[in-house]
Amino acid sequence: MMEEYFAHESAVIDAGCRIGKGTKIWHFSHIMADCELGEACNIGQNVVISPGVRLGKNVKVQNNVSIYTGVNCEDDVFLGPSMVFTNVINPRSHVNRKNEYAKTTVRKGASIGANATIVCGNEIGAYAFIGAGAVVTKEVLPYALVVGNPARQIGWISEFGHRLTFDEQGIAKCPESQEEYKLEDKKIEKIK
């Protein structure tokens, strides 16, 4: 049977993986057992996806990223070059903590910048934007723009990736899509 995805000849794909149609897996990447990659994903060079990881549709994983057991990414997530996930809060070489993996969820449309670190057990909200090099140690709200170490929120961002400026009524418009957003009680809602 012909595979419906592309894998470079140097990629290693363990038995028991489910890989969606149109997904591309590039040089020296390792997709471990019991992973699920949705349709139209792009897995860059030198990526490791650990057992049990779930990626939604159209997830873009740039070079040198390791996605550890306990991490799940919804549709349209972007993982920048060399960004890092953790899966144990207090790792020690001499202590086996495989039964203590903390869950990390990256919601639909979120972007994580190059060299950012996501400490395990946190949720990254839908369409949030994590700046390059940020160290995320707590939950990130949907549409939040966070930067720094430790990461702190400095604003809000549209689904198209533009910083939002709200007027006195709490309304902002994305300059690219022209979609409008309402900010109320530290929550953003896209106006239909």
Tell me, what's the pLDDT at 1? 45
Question: For residues 24, 142, 166 and 117, what is the CA-based torsion angle, rounded to 10 degrees?
Answer: -70
- The answer to whether residue 32 sits within a structural domain is yes
Query: What is the total count of domains within the chain?
Result: 1
- The answer to whether residue 106 sits within a structural domain is yes
Residue 45 has pLDDT above 80, yes or no: yes
CATH number at residue 139: 2.160.10.10
- The answer to whether residue 192 sits within a structural domain is no
- The answer to whether residue 186 sits within a structural domain is no
**Mean pLDDT, residues 113-132:** 98
User: How do residues 85-99 score in pLDDT, each as one tens digit?
Assistant: 999 999 999 999 988
User: Is residue 181 within 8 Å of residue 190, measured between CB atoms?
Assistant: yes
- The answer to whether residue 73 sits within a structural domain is yes
Residue 64's domain spans which residues? 6-164
DSSP 170: S
User: How do residues 157-174 score in pLDDT, each as one tens digit?
Assistant: 999 999 999 999 999 999
- The answer to whether residue 179 sits within a structural domain is no
* Alpha carbon 87 to chain centroid, angstroms: 14
Residue 2 has pLDDT above 80, yes or no: no
